[in-house]
């Protein structure tokens, strides 16, 4: 942190500016995520058209852009500059994105998100979000956007419907 003084309306006021943390910038965190996504094993054949890393980054882009649906993301995909922001060379369409990511193991993605969380913890970017038990409070969404009656895992939220079906 560095201190600087400014005259505002004839009054000398002192400010403390936070030190810039380039390793916590959006570019740095997207780069870190992209590098760890590159290590995720690709379950497809070697001649697959779009890189799995681009598909995984496209999924993150969809959430960070708060697209209400895959179709909306598909429309933005044509208009947005994903290469500059997310390093995505070729973003898949909505159906191809689903086909590519559904078989991917959630366990194989965990190291990527742990790496970003670790970077945020080291940079003390999460200190204001510490809850009384020492955990973090985050507002995350996703269950309203994607659900399945076929794909599930031990960490999935299950919704029991009146007709007896489970999503």
Beta carbons within 8 Å of 142's beta carbon, 6+ residues apart: 63
Residue 80: per-residue pLDDT = 65
Average pLDDT per block of 10 residues along the chain, 167 residues long: 46 49 81 91 78 89 78 74 81 84 86 90 83 72 63 76 87
- Sequence-ordered list of residues with C-beta below 8 angstroms from that of 94, at least 6 positions apart, any chain: 70, 71, 73, 74
Q: Where are the domains of the chain?
A: 22-128
**Quick one: tokens of 41?**
């094993």
User: For the chain, give me the number of helices (H) and strands (E)?
Assistant: 6, 2
Contact 82, 88 (CB under 8 A): yes
Q: What is the pLDDT of residue 79?
A: 67
pTM of model > 0.75: no
């Amino acid at each position: 942190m560095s201190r600087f003084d400014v005259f505002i309306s004839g009054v000398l006021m002192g400010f403390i500016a936070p030190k810039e943390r380039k390793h916590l910038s959006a570019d740095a965190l997207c780069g870190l995520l992209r590098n760890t996504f590159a290590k995720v094993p690709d379950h497809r054949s070697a001649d697959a058209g779009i890189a799995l890393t681009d598909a995984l980054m496209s999924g993150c882009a969809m959430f960070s852009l708060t697209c209400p649906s895959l179709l909306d993301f598909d429309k933005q995909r044509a208009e947005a500059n994903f290469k500059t922001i997310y390093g995505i060379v070729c973003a898949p369409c909505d159906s191809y994105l689903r086909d590519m990511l559904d078989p991917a193991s959630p366990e194989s993605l965990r190291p990527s998100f742990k790496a970003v969380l670790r970077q945020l913890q080291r940079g003390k970017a999460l200190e204001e979000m510490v809850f009384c038990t020492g955990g973090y409070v985050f507002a995350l969404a996703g269950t309203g956007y994607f659900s399945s009656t076929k794909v599930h895992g031990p960490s999935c939220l299950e919704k029991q419907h009146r007709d007896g079906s489970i999503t």
